[in-house]
């Protein structure tokens, strides 16, 4: 059952660029419910289809007079590292994998939740609300399906001094199919499920549909992290009856990349990356090349290898 929103409470919707949160915003607005702002946290590692949908829904929000912002985690101190700005660059810098591969969720906390909360903390309507002892209403797009019910179970009963978390899709009893129908009814294309393209939660068929440049970077991420992986096999953590724990193994087994190309990446790229990091460490931080510059060179190797 849908609860009312206190008239003075600022209302923030978390838009993850996927099906659920898109439908939630469309229906919330259609029901005439108050909405102050929409925030999207960009990890820099979303799939191409998700980034293609971003301007489409931004246009829809503009047409409906909804203020919206894309927020990002911005590391400030790089010590001796080349500056990094995305989840992928973070993993390559630290020779590790997203925390979800280790069974934790701090990647989502760091790259999605924290940037949104920081933005709201600097937002004047939220500060005024908190000074009066109120709470900012935060709309989360968990649907009523069994998968999202498990995610919701972790948060159920979670009480916060600053936010009143609301799950409108669950209040309406909407599952993902209902969400897709609502998006189509609004005249919009239905986006794909949003997630980082190296996320452990992706399925085998989702990995298979990734473009070549993502597959190459997945091989690189696992190869770079390999010396530090003692308790897990790779991005998928551990093998199951339907897939290996390493995405590289699946890429190799399915022939998604040429075997020789996989070996070239594993054998050479991590060493080249460490050399780059060591050279960068000697350069003052304001003149130091960023991690993305090395990645651009690595990606350029796609065409050289393919030629
Ligand atoms: S989509 Fe996956 S990898 Fe990306 S932040 Fe969320 S849990 Fe981590």
According to the 3-state scheme, what is the secondary structure of 72-99? Answer: CCCCCCCCCCCCCCCHHHHHHHHCCCCH
Q: What is the pLDDT of residue 77?
A: 78
Q: What is the pLDDT of residue 290?
A: 92
| Ligand 1 pocket residue status of 196, Cβ below 6 Å | yes
Neighbours of 293 (CB within 10 A): 14
Tokens of 276: 């780059």
Residue given tokens 């990356």 in the structure block:
273
Q: What is the pLDDT of residue 75?
A: 83
How far, in Å, from the CA of 157 to the mean position of ligand 1?
23
**Threshold 0.85, pTM exceeds:** yes
Which residue's CA is minimally distant from atom 6 of ligand 1? 108
Q: What is the 3-state secondary structure (H, E, C) of 12-31?
A: EEECCCCHHHHHHHHHHHHC
Contacts of 108 (CB under 8 A, 6+ apart): 100
One-character DSSP codes across 174-230: --HHHHHHHHHHTT-PPPPPP-BTT-TT--HHHHHTS-HHHHHHHHHHHHHHGGG-S
Which residue's CA is minimally distant from atom 1 of ligand 1? 195
| Ligand 1 pocket residue status of 202, Cβ below 6 Å | no
Residues of the chain with CATH 3.40.50.620: 11-185
Low-confidence ranges of the chain (pLDDT < 70): 1-2, 149-157, 302-307
Q: Would you say 58 and 68 are in contact if contact means Cβ atoms under 8 Å apart?
A: yes
Neighbours of 268 (CB within 10 A): 12
* Angle value at C-alpha 181, between 179 and 185, nearest 5 degrees: 115
Q: What is the pLDDT of residue 78?
A: 75
Query: Ligand 1 atom closest to Cα of 198?
Result: 3
Q: Would you say 168 and 13 are in contact if contact means Cβ atoms under 8 Å apart?
A: no
Q: What is the pLDDT of residue 170?
A: 93
Q: What is the pLDDT of residue 155?
A: 65
On average, the pLDDT of the chain sits at: 92
Which residue's CA is minimally distant from atom 2 of ligand 1? 199
Q: What is the pLDDT of residue 157?
A: 63
| Ligand 1 pocket residue status of 91, Cβ below 6 Å | no
What region does 192 belong to: left with phi over 0, alpha with psi -120 to 50, or beta? Answer: beta
| Ligand 1 pocket residue status of 100, Cβ below 6 Å | yes
Q: What is the pLDDT of residues 28-78, one digit of tens each?
A: 999 999 999 999 999 999 999 999 999 999 999 999 999 999 999 988 777
| Ligand 1 pocket residue status of 170, Cβ below 6 Å | no
Tokens of 59: 């246009």
Query: Ligand 1 atom closest to Cα of 98?
Result: 3
Q: What is the pLDDT of residue 6?
A: 73
Which residue's CA is minimally distant from atom 4 of ligand 1? 196
| Ligand 1 pocket residue status of 98, Cβ below 6 Å | yes
Query: Ligand 1 atom closest to Cα of 45?
Result: 4
How far, in Å, from the CA of 133 to the mean position of ligand 1?
33
Q: What is the pLDDT of residues 74-113, one digit of tens each?
A: 887 777 888 899 999 999 999 999 999 999 888 999 999 9
How far, in Å, from the CA of 42 to the mean position of ligand 1?
11
Cα–Cα distance measured from residue 101 to residue 98, given in angstroms and rounded to the nearest whole number? 6
CATH superfamily of 11-185: HUPs (3.40.50.620)
Q: Would you say 162 and 137 are in contact if contact means Cβ atoms under 8 Å apart?
A: no
Q: What is the pLDDT of residue 285?
A: 85
How far, in Å, from the CA of 246 to the mean position of ligand 1?
17
What secondary structure letter does DSSP report for 109? I
């Amino acid at each position: 059952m849908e609860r009312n929103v206190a008239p003075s409470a600022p209302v923030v919707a978390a838009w993850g660029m996927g099906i659920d949160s898109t439908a939630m915003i469309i229906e919330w607005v259609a029901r005439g419910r108050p909405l102050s702002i929409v925030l999207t946290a960009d990890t820099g590692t979303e799939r191409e289809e998700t980034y293609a949908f971003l301007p489409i829904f931004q246009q829809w929000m503009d047409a409906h007079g909804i203020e919206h912002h894309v927020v990002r985690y911005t590391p400030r101190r790089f010590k001796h590292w080349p500056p990094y700005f995305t989840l992928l660059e973070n993993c390559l810098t630290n020779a590790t994998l997203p925390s979800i591969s280790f069974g934790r969720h701090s990647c989502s906390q760091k790259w999605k939740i924290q940037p949104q909360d920081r933005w709201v903390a600097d937002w004047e309507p939220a500060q005024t609300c908190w000074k009066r002892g109120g709470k900012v209403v935060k709309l989360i797009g968990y649907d009523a399906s069994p998968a999202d019910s498990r995610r919701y179970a972790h948060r159920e009963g979670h009480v916060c001094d600053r936010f009143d978390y609301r799950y409108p899709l669950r209040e309406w009893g909407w599952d993902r199919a209902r969400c897709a129908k609502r998006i189509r009814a609004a005249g919009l294309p239905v986006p794909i499920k949003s997630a980082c393209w190296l996320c452990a939660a992706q399925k085998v068929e989702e990995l298979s549909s990734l473009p070549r440049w993502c597959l190459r970077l997945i091989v690189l991420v696992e190869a770079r992290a390999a010396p530090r992986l003692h308790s897990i096999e790779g991005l998928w953590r551990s093998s199951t009856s339907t897939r290996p724990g390493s995405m590289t193994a699946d890429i190799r087994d399915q022939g998604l990349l040429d075997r020789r190309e996989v070996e070239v990446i594993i054998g050479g790229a991590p060493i080249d990356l460490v050399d780059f990091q060591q050279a960068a460490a000697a350069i003052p931080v304001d003149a130091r090349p960023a991690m993305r510059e090395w990645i651009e060179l690595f990606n350029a190797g796609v065409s050289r290898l393919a030629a």
